[in-house]
Structure 1
Amino acid sequence: MNHAKRRALAVLVTVMVLAATAAACGKVGENGRIGVVYLNAEGYYAGVGRGLRATLDGGPQLVQTNIRSDPARESSFINTMSSAKVDALIVSPASATASIPALRLAKESDVPVICYNTCIEDAKAREYVRAFVLGSPAEFGRVSGEQMGDHFRSAGVRSPRVGIINCEQFEVCIERRKGFEQALKEKVPGARIVANQQGLQMDEAVERAEQLLVAHPDLDAFYGEAGSQTLGAVRAVEARGRAGKTVVFGGDMSVDAAKKLQDGRVLKGVADISGIKVGRLAGRAAQDVLEGRPGGSFIIPAPVDRYLGAQDGARWLREHPDGIP
């Protein structure tokens, strides 16, 4: 079966499931239906789902999918949701550009779109998207830049060599890197970014970080722009025997990140935007849609949290006993 046929079959199955669900229980969706797109399987998105369910409990039916960072999967799902005339879409788009046609179709189908975490390029977002739940990416990066800068100032290192593992397929990750670099240079003017490589999935992030360690055996630190990039860098440092020599700062708390932070040999600090908090904010925006309230500001700000050192790692684990961030 070729790729186009597989995608068509996936859309057909989704439509059949929706129809069967509605037929089996007349009450399903009677309070509305909302399509939800999770970008990948990282714990952050489990947190978003929890926040959505807590906010919308007893309300609209959530029709959810994990697109695994694949714009084709995303397009098929959003096309199906647009055809089904769901009441809203809550989505973390796979691409600032490749996701534009799907969100355009949703707009043309009168399906309000709420972005969270990522979105399409700004001009198109303001045309096709009702609201964007976003923790400031510049502030997110600035947290790690300040943490890393303080670390090297305390250690008396004036010219640290830094590698970046990025997720810059997404505009927010570019902005995170800019905020990181600015804050790091303010703290340690002699810091140098010696390489910047993309590693979207964990395995790719580990591979890229290991390649950088081979190319730059005297690397002092990594910055990981998001969860997979941060933990990928940590694993590479451990695998290459660089624990205690190369440190990692980065983004997105999870059980693994909290444990590595608590361990303290490699991961030193983490910036985080709670998925649960983002899910709650996106859920409230969806409630506004369902209840016919006018939209407010396009950007709905989500708070950026700071975690530094072993005590903060242990605290996060106590506060999240089920591991949902």
Structure 2
Amino acid sequence: MNYRRLISLFVILMLIVGSVGAQDSGDLTIGALWLDASEFYTGVRAGIEDAAANSDYNVSLLGNNSQGDAAIEAEQMQTLIGADVDAIIISAVSETSSVALIEAAANQGIPVVCYNTCIGLDDAEQYVYAWVTGDHYQQGAG
């Protein structure tokens, strides 16, 4: 994922949070779940943090590594939902097991943005506010 894509992801988040009534104070709390600790997700985190630092908002990023484990992802999502974050960015562990978690966030009025991986299309259209994914084959072929 290149820097422009990271900036696009962050801009999408800011637009989402703004459209759902972001706090007038300019303070935002964004929850983020990384799929693992690979260099890719380290770059994603760095890009999001950089974009946050250069935004007009005071952004607190609550990031966690699900380690590719559905049980860890579930615990971390429940923590973010309980923290009443303004939005959640997630690279979902599973197209199926992550559905209930994303649905729970959506039902609490928390917009969810998927990046890299997401839930199945039918569920995503119902519960995910936006998603940014790439062509994994093309990324590997480059």
Q: Tell me the TM-score normalised to structure 2 length.
A: 0.76
* Cα distance change, pair 80–30 in 1 and its aligned pair in 2 (3 A): farther
Contact map agreement 1:37 1:64 (CA 8 A) in 2: yes
Paired position in structure 2 for 1:148: none
2:29 pairs, out of 15, 26, 33, with 33
Q: How far did 1:75 drift?
A: 0.8
Whether 1:99 and 2:95 are equivalent positions in the alignment is: no
Contact 1:82 1:109 in 2 (8 A): yes
Q: Does 1:47 align with 2:46?
A: no
**Does the residue aligned with 1:60 lie in a helix, a strand or coil?**
strand
Shift of 1:120: 0.4
Q: In structure 1, what is the equivalent of residue 52 of structure 2?
A: 56
Is structure 2 residue 69 aligned with structure 1 residue 73? no
**Alpha-carbon separation, structure 2, partners of 1:72 and 1:35:** 17
SS in 2 for 1:40: coil
AA partner of residue 97 (structure 1) = T
**Which whole-Å CA distance do the structure 1 matches of 2:65 and 2:80 have between them?**
14
CA contact (8 A) 1:69 1:94 kept: yes
Distance 1:106 1:133 in 2: 18
Task: Spell out, residue by residue over 1:39-87, the C-alpha distance to the aligned partner (whole angstroms, 9 max, x if none).
Answer: 0111000110111011111631000100110111111111111122100
2:27 match: secondary structure: coil
1:86 aligns with 2:85: yes
Q: Which amino acid aligns with 2:114?
A: C
Q: For each residue in 1:173-200, what CA deviation from the matched residue of structure 2 results, as whole angstroms up to 9, or x when unmatched?
A: xxxxxxxxxxxxxxxxxxxxxxxxxxxx
Q: Match of 2:121? A: 122
Question: Aligned partner of 1:115: which letter?
Answer: C
Listed as ranges, the matches of 1:66-215 within 5 Å are: 66-135=65-134, 137=135, 140-141=136-137, 143=138
- Helix, strand or coil at the partner of 1:37: strand
The sequence identity of aligned pairs, in percent, is: 35
Structure 2 residue identity aligned to 1:40: D
For the Cα contact (< 8 Å) 1:39–1:45, is it kept in 2?
yes
Aligned AA (1:47): G
Counterpart CA distance in 1 for 2:73 and 2:125 is 20
Q: Which amino acid aligns with 2:75?
A: S
- Structure 1 contact 83–109 (Cα < 8 Å) conserved: no
Where in structure 2 are there 5+ consecutive unaligned residues? 1-24
Cα deviations by residue, 1:296-319 (Å, 9 ceiling, x for unpaired)? xxxxxxxxxx2xxxxxxxxxxxxx
What's the C-alpha RMSD, in Å, of the aligned pairs? Answer: 1.8
Deviation, 1:88, is 0.4
Distance 2:93 2:26 in 1: 30
Which residues of structure 1 form unaligned runs of 5+?
A: 1-28, 145-250, 252-270, 272-305, 307-325
- Report the count of equivalent residues: 115
In structure 2, the residue corresponding to 1:76 is in which secondary structure? helix
Distance, in Å, in 2 between the alignment partners of 1:30 and 1:61 is 11
Distance 2:82 2:109 in 1: 10
